[in-house]
Structure 1
Amino acid sequence: MADAQRDRLVGNITGHLRNGASAAVRERAFQYWKNIDAAVGGRVADAFA
């Protein structure tokens, strides 16, 4: 995946999680994405730190 694509993916994920996801759902999503791609998962989690 190119850097621009990865940026859009992170933006989409964080946008959806900010749209009313509970803390428990966000934590599961962070772990899910970290399991798929550690860099993407870390960026998603960092967006909520």
Structure 2
Amino acid sequence: MDEAARTRLVNNIVGHVLQGVEEPVLSRVFEYWTKIDATIGQRVREGVTARRS
């Protein structure tokens, strides 16, 4: 996956998570994506955190 594809993926995940995903599922989302790819997991966490604040 190139960087543009990674950015689209992260934005897509963050957009869906912000539509009402709450704990404990939210923590599992972060854990899942971090296991798949540490950078994507971190970017998802940061994207959700930034937009929820």
TM-score (norm 1): 0.92
Separation in structure 2 between the aligned mates of residue 43 and residue 25 of structure 1, nearest angstrom = 17
Separation in structure 2 between the aligned mates of residue 30 and residue 18 of structure 1, nearest angstrom = 13
TM-score (norm 2): 0.85
Unaligned runs of 5+ in 1: none
Question: 2:21 is paired with a residue of what secondary structure?
Answer: coil
Coordinate RMSD, CA, aligned: 1.0
Partner of 2:18: 18
Q: 1:6-27, CA deviations, whole angstroms, 9 ceiling, x for partnerless residues?
A: 0000000000000011132111
Separation in structure 2 between the aligned mates of residue 26 and residue 44 of structure 1, nearest angstrom = 11
- Number of aligned positions between the proteins: 49
